[in-house]
C-alpha cells in the first residue's frame, strides 16, 4: 500500500485518529484469514485483535481478573490499518435518565 505524502484526506484522518484516542495497531494484512488473531500490549493492557468468521476485524481487552470474559474494544480499519480506541468513555453504556413526576392533583 502506498499513500502519497500530499494526500490531504489521509493526513486529516490520521490527525483525527490521534486526537480522538484511536491508536494504530498493525496493518490489516497481519490477520488476512478468518480465525487469525494477534495480541498486542497497548499502555500495559493486553489487546487481542481477531478476524471473525464474518470477515470483520474485532478487538478485545483481556481482563486479568479470574474468569474475566474479554471486553470488546472499539476497532476500525482505515486505509488498510487497524486502529483501536481504549477510551473508557466510549465503551460505557449510558443509561437514560428517569424522571419521576407526581401529578399535582394527587
Q: What is the pLDDT of residues 4-36, one digit of tens each?
A: 566 777 777 766 655 667 888 899 899 999 989
DSSP bridge partners of 59? 49, 73
Question: Which of the 8 DSSP states describes residue 77?
Answer: E
| 71-78 β-sheet, strand order | 22-27, 81-85, 71-78, 57-61, 45-51, 37-42
Q: Is the whole-model pTM more than 0.85?
A: no
pLDDT in tens, 80-97: 889 988 776 544 444 445
Amino acid at each position: 500500500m502506498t499513500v502519497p505524502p500530499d494526500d490531504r484526506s489521509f493526513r486529516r484522518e490520521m490527525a483525527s485518529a490521534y486526537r480522538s484516542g484511536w491508536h494504530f495497531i498493525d496493518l490489516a494484512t497481519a490477520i488476512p484469514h478468518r480465525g487469525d488473531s494477534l495480541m498486542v500490549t497497548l499502555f500495559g493492557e493486553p489487546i487481542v485483535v481477531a478476524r471473525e468468521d464474518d470477515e470483520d476485524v474485532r478487538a478485545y481487552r483481556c481482563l486479568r481478573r479470574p474468569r474475566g470474559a474479554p471486553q470488546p474494544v472499539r476497532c476500525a480499519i482505515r486505509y488498510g490499518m487497524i486502529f483501536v480506541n481504549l477510551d473508557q468513555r466510549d465503551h460505557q453504556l449510558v443509561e437514560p435518565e428517569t424522571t419521576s413526576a407526581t401529578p399535582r392533583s394527587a
